[in-house]
Structure 1
Amino acid sequence: MCGRLTVVLDAAAYQLEFDLHMDESVRRNWKALYNVAPGQLVPVVKDPNGRSLEFMRWGLMPLWAKDEKTGIRLINVRAETILEKATFRKLMQQGQRCLIFADGFYEWQAALQKGTSPTPYYFRLKDGKPFAFAGLWENGFTPEKQPLTTCAIITCAPNTLMSSVHHRMPVILNASMAWEWLAPKPGVQLAPLLKPYPGEEMVAYPVSSMVNSTAVNEPGCIQPAE
C-alpha cells in the first residue's frame, strides 16, 4: 500500500530528470509538499508526447462510482490483478495510464509490541532523485457536475528493503523506465514493468509521528526520528 508521498524537490529537478513540459503557472505555484495524502492533488503526466505536467486528485473515481468516497478508497491498484478486474483492465486497454511524480513516500510498520503505535518510515531513492509511480487515471465529475480527473498508484510485492515494514510497495519507475509505461502497447506487454524497485537503490528510515496528521506539511516530516 502507498498512502502518503512527498514532492519536496523543486520543479526544475523534475523537469530536468524527466524532460517535462511545465506551464509558467505550474512553475510559479510549485511548492514543497512533505505529506501528501489521498484526496489531495498530485503532479501527473499522461501524454508521453507532450510530456505536459498537470495535477490530478489522488484516489481513482471510476465512472460507475456514485460518490467521491469511492475515490478516496481507491488510492492503490494491485499489479497482480490489474488485467483481471474489469474497471482497471478497461483503463489499461484505453491507454489511461499515467506517471505520478514524487521523491519519497511513507509507510507504517505495524506495532511490534502490544500497547505501542505503528512506526512511520520514509522511503526514497538513494541518489535523491525524483521518480514516478506507475498509475492509472480516469475522467469524471464531482457531485456538482464539475469535471474531475483522478488517479491511483499501482502497487506490487515489496523489495527486500520494504518487506520488513510492509507487505506491499508502490511501483517505482525511474527516468529510464517511466516513458515505457505510457507507450501505446497492450497491457500484457507492459506488465513486466510492474515489479519491485531494487531495494539496494533505496534508503529508508523511521520518522516522527507528526506525519500521522495529514494537516502537517513541514520539513520535519522527512527528518530521521530522534
Structure 2
Amino acid sequence: MSMKSENVAVVLVEPQGPLNIGSVCRAMMNFGFSDLRLVNPVADHLCDDARRMAVKASALLEGARIFSDLQSALSDCRLAMGTTRRFGKYREDFLHPDDAAKEFASVTFSGRVAWVFGREDKGLETAELDLCQRFVTIPTDDACPSMNLAQSVSICLYETARARARAIGKTGGRKTFSSLEVVEGMFQHMRSTLTDIGFLDPQNPDHILRSFRRIFGRAGLNDREVRILRGLWSRLDWLNNQRRDH
C-alpha cells in the first residue's frame, strides 16, 4: 500500500506570477499530484503565460480551485506543512522537506494533507502559519537563501514522491488525524477559555497560544484527543462560572 497521491494538495497563497503557477502545475504532473488550490491569486492562472509553462499540465490549471482565505482552502485537510524561512523563536520546530514528506506518508491513508506555499515576495503571514501544524524550510546557502516558488514546490513534491515510493508495501497501524477545521475549533475554544481564566493575556492571547499550536501540531491530534481537550476546556469554563457565581 502506498501514499495516496490524490490526498496531497498543493496550496499557493496569493501567487503573483503566472509563469510560476504554470511551472507548479508541471511539477505536480511530473510527480503524480493533481490537487491545486489557489488562495486569492494575484495572477491570472488561466492566462497564456501560465498555460505555456504548464506544458501538458494545463488541465491542472483549469481544475485549480480558488479560495478566499487559507482556512477555507485547508478545511478538509488533516495536516498542513507551511513553507517559510521566517525562523523566529520556533527554529526547533522546522523540518526539511524529506522529513516533512515522511510525516505526510502515513497521514494520507486516512485523510488529505497540504503543502502550503506563500507569496513570492514575502511568504506566509503569521496568521497563516498558525493554521499549519508544522513548518518546513529548504536548506539553502546564506549567499542566496530565497528560492523561486516553483522550484520550492518541485523539491517538496520530489521528496513527497520519494516518501510515497518508500511506503509501498508497508502496512501497520496508522493514526487517523482530525481535520484542520475540527482542530481549529478546539484552538478557538482553548483561546477563549484560557483567556477567561487569566492564563492568556487578553491583549495578546495568540502569543502563548502559538506555542500550544506547535506542541499539538507535533503530536498530531485525532478526533478522540480533540474531544478530550475540548472536554477539559468545557470543565474549566464550568469551574470558572462557578467561581464567579460565588
TM bracket (short chain): under 0.3
Q: Which has the larger radius of gyration?
A: 2
Judging by fraction of residues, say which structure has more strand.
Answer: 1
State TM-score, norm by structure 1.
Answer: 0.27
